[in-house]
A = this chain, B = another copy of it.
Amino acid sequence: MEITPDPARATRPGGRTARVRAAVLTAAGDVLAEHGYAGLDLADVAQRAGVGKTTVYRRWGSVTGLVVDLLAEMAESSAPRADTGTLLGDLTANARLVRRTLADRRQGPLFRAVIAASISAPETAGALHRFYAARVAEWAPCVTDALDRGEVPAGTDADEVVRAVSAPLYYRMLTTALPLSVAVADRAAEAVTTAARAGAYVRGAGR
């Protein structure tokens, strides 16, 4: 399981193995977005991907194997951090990216499906956690840069700041029917920036 991009894979997009993987994972993502985790079926995925059923069974083994590899691929291919020169600018870019993803017609249902999968099939939870760890690691330098610029106090927990930006967007999506507007994303970034500047994310006992 990789949580960082594999340059070898990225520079050999034409390999047959890579093409089969891309087709199968795209099909798996489509099925998850349309029918959820309970609707995921290896034979269906193979047919949509135009790949032999045997290949899919041999390589991924089960629907949970497919979800685990899809999450690894999502971690490998997700967008790089922003670098706007200010913490508010970077966190706003992060919040808007998360909002765009969750509000997207395919990506939104896909993210809800992999969250449901990680609850219903705990063997996929580790892969989900690695995906989010990779996203946090990609964006944490926005906070350490802010620390170097003196925007936030020493000891600020960069990972916690990054997670705090996404949290209200996910919570809103999962627990309400309220829309995920750009203004909501901007507020999340603004609130976290304000709290971070005031030292709310400085590491302390038990944190």
Contacts and interface: CB of A to CB of B under 8 A. Distances in A.
A184 B159 CA distance: 13
A38 B63 CA distance: 15
A168 B164 CA distance: 6
Interface residues of A, number: 46
B191 A164 contact: yes
Counted per complex, copies of this chain come to 2
A204 interface: yes
A118 B112 CA distance: 10
Interface string A110-136: 001101101110000110110011000
* 8 smallest beta-carbon distances between A and B, as pairs: A183-B206, A167-B171, A191-B195, A116-B119, A191-B200, A167-B167, A132-B175, A167-B168
Given A129-B176, A167-B168, A170-B170, 16 more contacts: A36-B119, A38-B38, A115-B115, A126-B177, A167-B167, A167-B170, A170-B171, A170-B175, A171-B171, A174-B174, A181-B207, A183-B206, A190-B195, A191-B191, A191-B195, A191-B201
